Every structure is written in structure tokens, then in C-alpha cells.
Amino acid sequence: DSYLIPKYTFDKFIEGDCNRLGRAAGMAVANKPGLTSFNPLMIYGGVGLGKTHLIQAIGNEIKNQFPDKFVLYVSTEKFTNQFVNAIRNNSIETFTNFYLQVDVLIIDDVQFLSGKEKTQETFFNIFNHLHQSGKQIILSSDRAPRDLAGMEDRLLSRFKWGLTADLQQPDFETRIAIIQKKLQDDGIQINFDVLEYLAHSIQTNVRELEGVIISLMAQASLTRKEIDLELAKSTLKSIVNDQEKELSVDNILEAITSHFDVDMELLTGKCRKKETVFPRQVAMYMLKELTNLPLKSIGYHFGGRDHSTVIHAVQSISEAMETDKSVEKTVRKLFNRFNIALN
């Protein structure tokens, strides 16, 4: 079993500026697995932007064109669990040998290898062996290789051997196209004003966009109404109100990216531009104030920055809140998203 999901195809993966390079590279790899210089192909980007869809589509396309090839999709979590079990059962050789038979290895969410030295070591060996034998390796990660903390340098340098392509938030036109395609697949037509409204209102990621469309279709069929602007507005409103305001690192970072309209990549990366540094400092401040995370762990989420950077950020924001009303207001708003009042 290759663990490929048939519905994830290139055909269903709408192209836009946000994913053009990754999509094209993926197609190239699918046409000539192991034979292009895109080996490994590393796709990275924030949550819900289509990483799993795209790397699965590559796998499915390879299966189409080369039915004899052994294509294997595995999440990093599963890979790690299998490895841990292999240690326990004294069957590491069997584990490794299994992976060495693969023609196309697709590993999803490699950021979860971070801090797992033994798993990394074994993956490194498998990687080298497959690569030397001209086998194709496809990886995904939620951040760029340079921002992956807790990863061995030799493994990181392997990740950069081939091609690294990022998926970004879809722009307005791409969001329109994605919504249209999803509705079309269900045989539903909607007016452009509704489309436009949806594309304007949901700017976070494709998964969320999909969620809203599904609710909308459900609402329409329950109430036997057409999908019009009114229904779109009321559906969206009820979704927003229902959303859990659970305090988690992800949710806090998401709140920051959507409030400041900054990319997750940039936020958690090394960019020193003012438009990024300020949101990043606010993010660190919020994580410090709203979670029990140690400073070191907070730094980890921002490309492995050390605790003194976090302390500095927290101090800067505390001071700015006292001297600048607009900063205070911003932080208050962000706290409100989690139903927490700023004291």
C-alpha cells in the first residue's frame, strides 16, 4: 500500500502565483522521477496551503505514468513511530531494508524530525542510499530548511541539494478559482458577488476556505436555499463565532499573521524588516504572557532564536505598550481573540 489518496491530483490543485514553482517542479518530478535535478524536491509552507495535496498529487501522477514504481507516502510521524517500534523489536534492519526498496519516497512534515537524533540518523542513511541509487525523494515541511531548528546540519544540507519551493497564501484571484473549482465539482453555481465576498473574507489558508464552502453547501441544502450573499454572510458569521479560541502556539501565531497580514514563513523566519520584526516581537510577547512555554521554546518557534532575543522582544513590547496607545490597542485586540482581557 502506498498510502496515496486518489482525490489529491494535479487536476484539482489550482495553480496561482502562490504555488507556481512548486506545482511546476512537482510536475517535472512526476514526469521523470529521480531523473531531474529536483532531488530531493522540498515543498514548504504554512498550514493548510496545500503541501500534502501537492506531494500526494506527485505520487499519484507517478503511479499513473509508471505503475511499476514503488511509490510510498509516509508522514514523518508515522516514520518516527515505525522506527521507534523497530528499535523496541530489534528489527531496525527490516525497517531500513523496507525503505531501501522504495522508488519514490514522499515524506510529509519533516519538521517533526526536529530534535529526534536517532530517527534523523536513520533517515539520513536511507536518504543517502536512495539518492545514490537515483531514487526520487519528495519532502514537505512547514518552514524553509534554513529555519528548521533541531535538525542536524548534514541532513539540512541534503534537503537543499535539489529544489526547494514554497507555497504561499493564495492571492485573491487564486482564491476565487479555488472556490469556483470546489463548487463546480459539486455541480453548484454561485453569483460573482458571493464568490467575491468569500474570497475577500477568508484570507488565511485553503483549508479554511474549503471548510467554509462545505458549511455553506450544507446550509444551503438544509434550508433549501440558494447560496446567495445573505446565506454566505450568515454562515461565515456563525463559523467565526464558533471558532474555538483555544490558546495554542499555532493559534497565537495564526492570529498574528492574520492581524498583521504577514506570512508565517516571514514571521517565524530570519527576516529583519520592520514590517516583520514588530509582529514577531508581539508574537513572542503573547507567547510569553499567554502560555507557560519557557523562553527557549518560544525562541524555537522563531527559527531557534535564543532566550535573550525573546526577553528583548518582550521588553520592547511592554515598553511600547506604555508609550504608544496604538501598540496597546493592537495587543488588546489580539488578546481579545482568545477572550482574554489585557489588564
Residues contacting Mg ion: total by CB under 5 A: 2
Cell of 59: 505520487
Cβ-based nearer residue to Mg ion, 51 or 69: 51
Query: Residue 53 binds which entry of Mg ion, ligand ADP, none, with Cβ cut-offs from 5 to 8 Å by kind?
Result: ligand ADP
Q: Which of residues 131-190 bind ligand ADP (CB under 6 A)?
A: 178
Cβ–Cβ under 8 Å, residues 16 and 177: yes
Query: Residue 178 binds which entry of Mg ion, ligand ADP, none, with Cβ cut-offs from 5 to 8 Å by kind?
Result: ligand ADP
Q: Which of residues 194-253 bind ligand ADP (CB under 6 A)?
A: 206-207, 210
Q: How far apart are CA 15 and CA 8, in angstroms?
A: 14
User: Can residue 52 be called a binding residue for Mg ion (CB under 5 A)?
Assistant: yes
Shortest Cβ distance from residue 46 to ligand ADP (Å)?
7
User: Can residue 13 be called a binding residue for ligand ADP (CB under 6 A)?
Assistant: yes
Cβ-based nearer residue to ligand ADP, 3 or 335: 3
Give the strand order in the sheet containing 136-141.
Answer: 71-75, 104-108, 136-141, 41-45, 163-167
Cβ-based nearer residue to Mg ion, 232 or 264: 264
Cβ–Cβ under 8 Å, residues 229 and 201: no
DSSP per position, 224-248 = T----HHHHHHHHHHHHHHS-----
Neighbours of 124 (CB within 10 A): 15
Cβ-based nearer residue to Mg ion, 105 or 195: 105
Q: Which of 173, 148, 170, 174 is nearest to 159 (CA)?
A: 148
Residue nearest to ligand ADP (CB): 50
Q: Which residues bind Mg ion (CB under 5 A)?
A: 51-52
Q: Which residues bind ligand ADP (CB under 6 A)?
A: 12-14, 19, 45, 47-53, 178, 206-207, 210
